[in-house]
A and B are shown apart, each in its own frame.
Chain A
Amino acid sequence: MVLKIKHLKRDFNKSSLLIVIISLLLAIPVFAILISLFKGTGEMWEHITSYFLIDYIQNSIILLLGSGIICFVIGTSSAWVVSRYKFKGRKIIEWLLFMPLAIPSYIVAYSYVGLFGYGGSFIKFINYLGFNNIDNIEMMNIYGLVWVLSFSLYPYVYASTRLIFQSYPTRLKDTASLLGASKNKYFFKIALPLASPAIIGGLFLVFMEVLNDYGAAKYYGINTFTTGIFRTWTALEDLQSSIYLSAILVVLVFVLVLIVKWLRGRRSYNLKTYNSNDQDEIYRKDLKGLKKIIFLTIVFVPILFGFLFPFLQLIIWGLQTFESMFNSDLLNIGIQTLFLGLSTSIIIVFLATSLIYLSKWNYLKQLNVTSKLATLGYVIPGAIIGIGVIKSSHSITEYFSTYHNIKIGYIIYNSILVLIYAYVFRFIAVAFNSIESNTLKLSKSLSESSNLLGFGKIKTFFKIDFPLIKNALLTSFILVFIDVIKELPLTLILKPYNLSTLAIKAYEYAEDERVAEAALPALFLIFIIGSMISVVNYRFKLNKS
């Protein structure tokens, strides 16, 4: 023990201190919720458990299972087709399959009403094809919501799985064939199991987005945990009960995390053990006949329902409402969205990079566990973080007012700083994971060489690490930027009254039954996100070459 204390004195440095301070400051909303749990349930808790809780649990499970299964099928099958087969326009299709990520799921949900409702564009189209007996496809129910979420979230599975499928060396397939495996056996016994860690990782992101969804579920009138947390806090005015609901949702999230960990187990396959020359040119087979029709359907259906149909519907609405909607207010909201996205993303990338490097420079490695606290936000739905931030803001203003007679409420409530803080906690994991995976690729001996050649840690960072990870920093900046400008529940809870974003504007119009007017802000948002996705895609290709 004496020895340990001696070492503590020797090994504790500024990095150790900073890592603890930053992590604890970021995790305040989690602590606020945990502490509140000891204060007992709120007044409406009995009412909620009697009438709503079962509904919340049932619906959330149906949504998770339904979208999980559909995303798995669509994501893996489309990834397989574009990775292993040759056909005209494959490169564009590969890119289009990502595009549903550019349309937030709540906007897809609004557009579906215009597509499949009475007199909807899709209905008109199928009537034109001769199916006159269909005048409406009912989408505003839980199965419709499963459909909407599945077609807007499958790219998470597609993206991770495609990367794995494209890294399979040709000799893997050759070996299986020489051992007598049929095509089906190769797919189900080799290709799919090898991709399982990536599929599970993609599905986990789908689950988190499903649990985080507020806009689509609210619009379709489906009771989920997130809509319940909102209703309990705003309509029932019972913050304490909404905290209890949040706690149940957090438990559900951690059960999911455990299931994912259990499923993944020790499954981390290193495809690099194969000759890397094999991977330079992926061998793709030609598609012919019936197989061609089936496989092209596999890739076109998700593009149509996840991107093209909703996008075209928004364009139709956008043109109809252009004159009344395209004004300085919309431009102003666009500028506010860009400002919020840019400033938050810069702060997040800076803090994530700091946490990663402080962990490297800290010699008391046990303290690095605290950085895990700071990155918990991505597995906690936005509504819960919003409630946690409000609860902690109450406690902080009360503390300063009671013990120091200082009124700081005006700084905290209705302030953009609180919203940015909440975004930082919610999305820092996105930047952290992407930057960390890139720093891990850098040989440790590079920075050690610089240290031995007389450079300190910060100078080493700027001279050696920064030039080598600047692409990763830019990519994570863009990923965070997209997440921030798409975000809805957290922004709804914490935004100052004089601030609006494109996401909020689209939501407000849709809630007001003016769904056509929601199209222009939505299109504006899609345009920004689409351009950003293209930049990431371009940089990815550039890096690869």
Chain B
Amino acid sequence: MKILEIENLSKSYESKLEVVSDCSFSIESGNICAIVGESGSGKSTLFRLIAGLERPEKGSIKVKEKIVSNDKFIVAPKNRNVGLVFQDFSLFPHMTVKENIEFGLVKNKNKKVEELLKIIRMENFLNRYPHELSGGQQQRVSLARSLALDPSLLLLDEPFSNLDTELKSKLRKDVRTIIKDIGTSSIFITHDILDALDIADEIIFMDNGKIIRQCKIEDIFKDVKNEKLLKSITELKSNSDLILNALKNK
């Protein structure tokens, strides 16, 4: 089953320039997909459109084969069953770890919080406030908060951009394990192709609001036609040791 289907999606702001331009792609259920592109390529706007935080100019979005956005109507973010972990983690500063995780839950709060804290290995941080946590811990709490509602699709906005290299490599593995254990589908955006190689099953390249390539991770070096993409992939190939290591660790 396709978890996400996007057709001819476009979005422009007041400047009239299209930030997302005629994008079409779909993602299979259970997969982790990385959207890779430079700053300003439209990745974040695409995410906000999928989550329902922005309204498209044209095109449609389907989640679990149901239309959630098109020209005529919009399903509110709270009714989409889509989770989003923001780049700044967006933990509620006046709530503890427990209160943050149980925020969206209606029943079995304690049990669910306990389960999630075990998954993110933060059982002892229940009553801490966000400012008392490290960057990596904050990210895991934010991930747990989104996962608490069992979303059909989990979106992660630049999940590793605020972290140092050592923590980044550890968290990549953590995030993949957590997502795969829970069995949800996920998309994350990054400008670092190594993040994608490390944890994604498939990869989408974006440039200037357009999707220039979608492929499985193992096909990343096959039949590259786009010049810009070819250049960056060539640069990536030249650092083959890094790639091999990354693939080995996955």
* Chain A interface residues (CB < 8 Å from chain B): 3, 6-7, 9-11, 363, 365, 443, 445-446, 448-456, 463-464, 467-468
Contacts and interface: CB of A to CB of B under 8 A. Distances in A.
Interface residues of B, number: 30
B103 interface: yes
B78 A455 contact: yes
B58 A451 contact: no
B129 interface: no
A7 B57 CA distance: 8
A463 B82 CA distance: 21
A464 B91 CA distance: 10
A463 B103 CA distance: 10
Give the most central of B87, B90, B104: most A CB within 10 Å. Answer: B90
A445 B78 contact: no
A455 B106 CA distance: 11
B71 A6 contact: yes
Contacts of A452: 51, 53, 77-78, 80, 82-84, 146
A386 to B, nearest CB: 38
A257 to B, nearest CB: 23
22 contacts: A6-B71, A6-B72, A7-B57, A10-B55, A363-B55, A443-B88, A445-B86, A446-B92, A448-B77, A448-B84, A449-B84, A449-B145, A451-B53, A451-B78, A452-B78, A452-B83, A453-B104, A454-B78, A454-B104, A455-B103, A456-B78, A464-B92
B90 A446 contact: yes
Closest 10 CB pairs of A and B: A453-B104, A445-B90, A445-B86, A451-B77, A449-B90, A454-B104, A454-B78, A467-B94, A452-B77, A6-B71
Interface in B81-121: 82-84, 86-88, 90, 92-94, 103-104
Nearest to B104: A453
A443 B142 CA distance: 15
Interface in B1-20: 14
Contacts of B55: 7, 10-11, 363
Nearest to B70: A10
Given A450-B103, A452-B82, A3 B90 contact: no
A448 B53 contact: yes
Contacts of B53: 448, 451-452
Contacts of B104: 453-455
Contacts of A467: 94
Nearest to B84: A452
Interface string B46-79: 0000010101011000000000000111101110
Contacts of B93: 468
Contacts of B58: 3
Nearest to B106: A454
Contacts of A363: 55
B149 interface: yes
Interface in B128-184: 145-146, 148-149
Given A10-B55, A443-B90, A451 B76 contact: yes
Contacts of B149: 453-454
A453 B103 contact: yes
Nearest to A453: B104
